Structure 1
Amino acid sequence: MKNKTVDSKKIQTKKPKNRCYQLNEEYRNNLKKISRERYHKDPAYKKATKNRALRRYHEDPEYRAATIRRAKARYHRLKAEKGLKK
């Protein structure tokens, strides 16, 4: 995409991906990795995470529907894989 500026009459091109966005993406991925490691190492963190998820499951109908949808998809995917192995 090209934009013309009125005062300088130069054509500016927009960069396809912002460097700041890339850094944020790396940061988010690192946070996920750290969280995953902590989940498996720290039993208190694991329990707190599970409780938070359960509370949200019971209080938020949209989250519940999404969770059920994911579970059904996983079930059918595993069932299909099992059927292929026979």
Structure 2
Amino acid sequence: MLLQSGVKFYDYPVATQSDSITSINQDGRRIFTTRATFGAEYYLDDKRAFSIDLFQNQIWQERDFWDDKKAAWGVSVGFITSLF
């Protein structure tokens, strides 16, 4: 099991109006996030392995387009080998 925390950096459009002119600019923002990963590897021999991971990403604030305490789930499947 792997637990990680960090900061997600993203751009968010901001519209400003001056008289009859509307300007849309990108505003750089950040938000706290965590990730939990459960994984397993099965080694076929000393140079090759099969891996599978189940992970969950979590945003902990309701801000901009991020919903409060919503999570994203995913699965990663891979084959690991040595190139040389």
TM-score bucket (shorter structure): under 0.3
Structure with the higher helix share, 1 or 2: 1
TM-score by length of 2: 0.25
Structure with the higher strand share, 1 or 2: 2
Q: Which has the higher contact order (CA 8 A, sep 6+)?
A: 2
Quick check: which has more Rg, 1 or 2?
1
